[in-house]
């Protein structure tokens, strides 16, 4: 058996030859930023891919969440309900929007905050929250219908952190979905993000916030804002990524199918619901039984297989957020131990998959 270490993730962006035709368009136009033609074309193609009638491209996924919360959060309210079990960027975005994270538990089945858990938190709060940040778990499409009903019933604005779910989204409503275009995502451009939404006024305002608050009149700053745009060079990469996306998704499907076939019904480990069936992701996780966590980690280490807990053990375990308010996090503290990110990239061979799966209970 090979003893060469199997890497957990190797990002893949288009090669220079695929980007070159778009770079030549930049040379011809001599437009390099400020919502140029390539960034605009990338924005429009992203809308077609996801079914979004409105798209604002941002400098990264964290900024996308911050901008969406700045627009949707209730004025004067301070708390943003959100799951503790998420990548720490979610909590930073909440704070950058001028809000305080209020950390909630997640469902053991879906790894996500549910409307039922959020409603329970509302009953315990002595003040109305500013918003709810709903996090997609590792690329799974969020339950937009359930959260639309939640907002209609409670009046609490909802924003989706769907960082890794860009290729899983098939339709978009008025509740904004914020995605990441980081190099580690299935649709990655290096650094970037986007807000997807059918609310034209929200998208107009979000786009203005990415460009110094210029809303309507040219070079007149109408609202407090910043500079959160992407350059034409990032747009060029994005267009090349979209050109090759069908092949990328086919490769992710092949890898997911390879794992599923090897795990079958003989293993105690399980995947997230729907992965490889209705959606794909760039970080494949298994959920192992609670009594098998330590032994599984030991076998992976001994087999020279890299693995990750991509979200760690929850935002509440980070010193920067140790003092923020929280509800009971029993499920988060239990399930976060059991979610293990497996190697998942296009350099994995069948022998690599065999070696990895042998380590799983």
Residue 324 is given by DSSP the state: S
Structure tokens that stand for 349 in this block: 């061979």
Residue 181 is given by DSSP the state: -
Distance (Å, whole) CA 226 – CA 253: 39
185 is catalytic: yes
Rounded to 10 degrees, what is the CA torsion of 199, 227, 59, 205? 0
Rounded to 10 degrees, what is the CA torsion of 63, 69, 71, 73? -160
Q: How many CA atoms are closer than 13 Å to the CA of 14, on its beta-carbon side?
A: 25
DSSP string, 34-82: SS-HHHHHHHHHHHHHHT-SEEEEESSHHHHHHHHHHHHSPTT--EEEE
Residue 193 is given by DSSP the state: E
Which residues, at least 6 apart from 42, have a Cβ–Cβ distance to it below 8 Å? 57, 235, 238, 239, 242
Distance (Å, whole) CA 68 – CA 169: 18
Catalytic choice (170, 174, 185, 267): 185
Q: What are phi and psi for residue 283, nearest 5 degrees? A: -130, 105
Helices 61-72, 89-96: crossing angle, 10 deg rounding: 40
Rounded to 10 degrees, what is the CA torsion of 321, 322, 327, 331? 90
**Strands of 79-83's sheet, edge to edge?**
54-58, 193-197, 177-180, 158-161, 131-135, 79-83, 100-104
Cα–Cα distances in angstroms (integers) from residue 203 to residues 72, 89, 123, 233, in the given order: 11, 22, 32, 23
Active site residues: 185
């Amino acid at each position: 058996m090979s003893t060469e270490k199997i890497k957990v993730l190797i990002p893949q962006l288009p090669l220079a030859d695929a980007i070159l035709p778009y770079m030549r368009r930049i040379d011809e136009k001599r437009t390099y930023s400020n919502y140029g033609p390539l960034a605009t074309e990338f924005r429009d193609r992203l809308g077609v891919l996801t079914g979004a009638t409105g798209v604002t491209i941002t400098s990264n996924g964290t900024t996308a969440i911050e901008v969406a919360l700045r627009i949707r959060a209730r004025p004067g309210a301070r708390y943003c309900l959100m799951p503790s079990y998420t990548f720490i960027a979610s909590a930073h975005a909440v704070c950058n929007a001028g809000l305080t994270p209020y950390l909630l538990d997640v469902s053991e089945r879906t790894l996500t905050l549910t409307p039922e858990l959020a409603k329970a938190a509302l009953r315990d709060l002595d003040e109305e929250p500013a918003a709810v940040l709903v996090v997609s778990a590792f690329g799974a499409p969020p339950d937009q219908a359930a959260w639309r009903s939640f907002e209609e019933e409670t009046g609490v604005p909802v924003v989706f952190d769907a960082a890794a779910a860009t290729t899983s989204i098939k339709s978009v409503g008025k509740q904004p979905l914020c995605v990441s275009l980081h190099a580690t995502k299935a649709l990655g451009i290096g650094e970037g993000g986007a807000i997807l939404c059918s609310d034209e006024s929200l998208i107009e305002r979000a786009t203005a916030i990415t460009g110094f608050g210029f809303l309507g009149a040219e070079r007149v700053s109408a609202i407090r804002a910043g500079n959160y745009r992407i350059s034409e060079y990032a747009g060029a990469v994005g267009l090349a990524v979209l050109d090759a996306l069908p092949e990328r998704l086919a490769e992710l499907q092949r890898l997911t199918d390879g794992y599923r076939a090897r795990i079958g019904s003989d293993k105690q480990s399980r995947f997230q619901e729907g992965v490889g069936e209705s959606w794909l992701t760039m970080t494949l996780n298994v959920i192992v039984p609670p009594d098998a966590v330590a032994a599984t980690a030991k076998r992976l280490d001994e087999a020279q297989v890299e693995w990750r807990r991509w979200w760690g053990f929850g935002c509440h375990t980070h010193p920067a957020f140790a003092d923020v308010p929280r509800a009971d996090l029993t499920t988060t503290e239990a399930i976060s131990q059991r979610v293990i990110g497996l190697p998942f990239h296009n350099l994995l061979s069948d022998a690599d998959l065999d070696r990895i799966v042998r380590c799983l209970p």
